[in-house]
Amino acid sequence: MVQPETVLRWHQELYRLFCKHTSKADARQPKLSLETIALIKEMVKKNRLWGAECIRGELLKLDMRVCKRTIQKYMRHVRLHRPRGQKWSTFLHNHAADMWACDFLQVTDLYFRSLFAFFLIELK
């Protein structure tokens, strides 16, 4: 004898396997043609400031419909993540001639009189 719960569990497991098998995409073959992928990678290399949305717009002008996420997937392999901006040492090297610093402080001498000091420093 088989319990009704067991039959229901078997049915659910078979249905899960069926859904998993039918929804599995063929991982060996990309949905885009290799020419389209090469075109996306070339556009990413030659136009560093273009994002996925801009590339998508250019592909639409060529009558190619590609999802933004798909473009981002192929952009990841082409662009290297470099830190944005410049290093602090580069900034100082470029702007040291134009930079200065100042400080104003109060100092007490041996007779407890207040003395004021004002400092100017040119970084050049």
User: Residue 41 pLDDT > 70, yes or no?
Assistant: yes
Predicted pLDDT at 40: 92
How many CB atoms are closer than 10 A to CB 40? 25
Cα–Cα distance, 31 to 25 (Å, whole number): 9
Q: Are strands 100-108 and 114-122 parallel, antiparallel or unpaired?
A: antiparallel
Half-sphere exposure of 49 (CA within 13 A, CB side): 0
pLDDT digits (tens, 9 = 90+) for 94-103: 888 888 889 9
Structural domain boundaries in the chain: 4-78, 88-122
What average pLDDT does the structure give for the chain?
86
User: Residue 1 pLDDT > 80, yes or no?
Assistant: no
Q: Is the pTM of this model over 0.75?
A: no
**Angle between helix 52-61 and 34-46 (nearest 10):** 120
